[in-house]
Each structure stands twice: as C-alpha cells, then as structure tokens.
Amino acid sequence: MIRPDSPILLEITDLHATVGDQPILKGVNLTLRAGEIHAVMGRNGSGKSTLSKILAGHPAYTVTAGTIHYRGEDLLALAPEERARAGVFLGFQYPVEIPGVSNLEFLRVATNARRGARGEEELDTFAFEDLVRERLKVVQMDPAFLERSVNEGFSGGEKKRNEILQMALLEPLVAILDETDSGLDIDALRIVSAGVNQLATPDNCILLITHYQRLLDEITPDFVHVMAAGRILRTGGKDLALELERRGYDWVDEGLEPAPQADPAAPALEVV
C-alpha cells in the first residue's frame, strides 16, 4: 500500500560495502515507507543477500561508505540484537541450527527482549505459550516444533515457517525476508506467503529479497527493484518483475554501465 505521506521507516543512502577485500555493494539507495512492500530481485551474486545481512548487522560485512537510517536513527551504530529489539527483522535464507537450545525457550527470550525494548511487560512461560500457540496459526505450524531444538532437523519448509513465526512474535517494523521462497514446495510457499500477507500492516514495511517471480505471485509488491553488480539498476511497480520474468536478467545488464562515482547528490534512480 503506497501512501506518499506515510513515515519513512528505512532509508538507505549510497551504501557501499565489502566482505573481506571484496567490494559487494557499490552505491545502493532505497527508501521504505510504512505500509509498503518492496521486492529486491537479482541474480546470484548481485549483492541482494549482502544487503539483507548488512541491514541485520552481520559482522562479516563492512560498510565502507553510505548510511542507513531506521526511523531517523543511525542503524549502523546498533549491535545486531539492538536492531532486532528496535524492530528490524531478518528472515534468514538459511536459518541456523542450534542444537540443544529449545525452540520454545529461544522464541520466548527473543520475544521478551523485543517487548522490553517497547516498554511492555515480559511474558511468563504460560502467557508466552498462549501467545505462541495463537501465532503458530499464522504459519500453520505443528506445536511439536516448539519442543525441538532451534531449527535442528527441520526440513527447509519447516525452517522457513519458523522464521515467519518469529516475525509474527517480534512484530517488526521493517522485515527483510531473504529468499524466503527458496527450498519451499508450492504448498509451503502458499502458507508462508499467506503468513507474510497477514503480518503486513499499514505501520510496517516488508523487503522481499528473491530470485524468482513465484513469491511475488503470492505477495504483491508495491515496488520492485532489480539489483546487479552491487547497485539497484531499475525500480518499478509489480509489472517490472513480470517483465523481468519475460525478458530475463540479461535485459537488466543492458542498463549496466561503469559504476558512477559515489556522489550523495546524485539524482534518484530513474523509474522505468
């Protein structure tokens, strides 16, 4: 839902980043307002997953230039857990398995950390169980998964449902979903997508990172951005994704030119 007057939640300006000595992002600009759903598409290696990791504060990536503001604050100054508590959520492409740590306990501690940051009371074990059982419905997840270790032995689809369950519990204002559709069969994709659609509200925004159109058939984006070589090359409406599907990524490359010099005053990218 596009409302030009709604508040800006996330503003990425001329973001450059490296992993090791390797430059990956070369000037990304992106603005997300409340109520919007954005999709970032691109080939493997275009930098889209890097973007998601940087938003969550992964220590392996170094921001070399540019800024990210979350609700006007400098997001890059925050530790990963501070970002999560403040309402920035990353749904992982490959959710990590943590043997021995109970999923239920993990969800409770995380939820309470977020609640604490919002000035809400911590939930005790019983109150939390009520909450989590209610939120399980969002992703139609079997309560048995609460008793297991975090993601351990979960199938690809179960892991992704667990991610969306976490989103449902943490109620983020900015949710970045990195390749949430990968490894899902069509039924799981529908369930996960329906969950995301339920969780999208006029007050939050969602950034979908994906390779394929099929996720966007389920979750309709307001904006589609195409990344290549560490920059957003094209931005459009949902039709851009369809055009991309039709014409392939080579079509995007035609627009690829030598990276412009970092210039904060550069005009916003042209809308196709």
Partner 1 sequence: MIERYLGTVVPSNDNFFAALNSAVFSDGSFVFIPKGVSCPMELSTYFRINSGDTGQFERTLIIAEEGASVSYLEGCTAPMFDTNQLHAAVVELVALDDADIKYSTVQNWYAGDEKGIGGIYNFVTKRGQCRGPRSHISWTQVETGSAITWKYPSCVLQGEGSSGEFYSVALTNNLQQADTGTKMIHVGPGTRSTIISKGISAGHSSNSYRGLVQIGPKAVGARNYSQCDSMLIGDTAAANTFPYLRSQQPEASIEHEASTCRISEDQLFYLQSRGIGLEESVSMMVSGFCRDVFNQLPMEFAAEADKLLALKLEGSVG
Residues within the interface to partner 1 (CB under 8 A): 56-60, 79-81, 83-85, 89-90, 92, 95-96, 98-102, 105-106, 109-110, 113-114, 117, 149, 166, 170
Complex with partner 1: residue 206 or 240, whichever CB lies closer: 206
Residues 244, 272 contacting (CB under 8 angstroms): no
In whole angstroms, how close is the CB of 35 to partner 1 at the nearest point?
24
In whole angstroms, how close is the CB of 168 to partner 1 at the nearest point?
13
Task: Report d(CA 113, CA 106) in Å as an integer.
Answer: 11
Residues 132, 169 contacting (CB under 8 angstroms): yes
Residue type present at position 228? A
Complex with partner 1: residue 113 or 131, whichever CB lies closer: 113
In whole angstroms, how close is the CB of 74 to partner 1 at the nearest point?
18
What tokens appear for 210 in the block?
A: 């994906």
In whole angstroms, how close is the CB of 4 to partner 1 at the nearest point?
31
In whole angstroms, how close is the CB of 241 to partner 1 at the nearest point?
27
Phi and psi (nearest 5°) for 172?
Answer: -75, 160
In angstroms and rounded to an integer, the radius of gyration of the C-alpha atoms of the chain is 18
Complex with partner 1: residue 19 or 101, whichever CB lies closer: 101
Measured CA to CA in angstroms, residue 113 lies from 108, 148, 196, 214 at distances of: 8, 21, 22, 34
Complex with partner 1: residue 81 or 185, whichever CB lies closer: 81
Strands 37-42 and 73-74 turn out to be unpaired
Complex with partner 1: residue 33 or 114, whichever CB lies closer: 114
Phi and psi (nearest 5°) for 243?
Answer: -65, -40
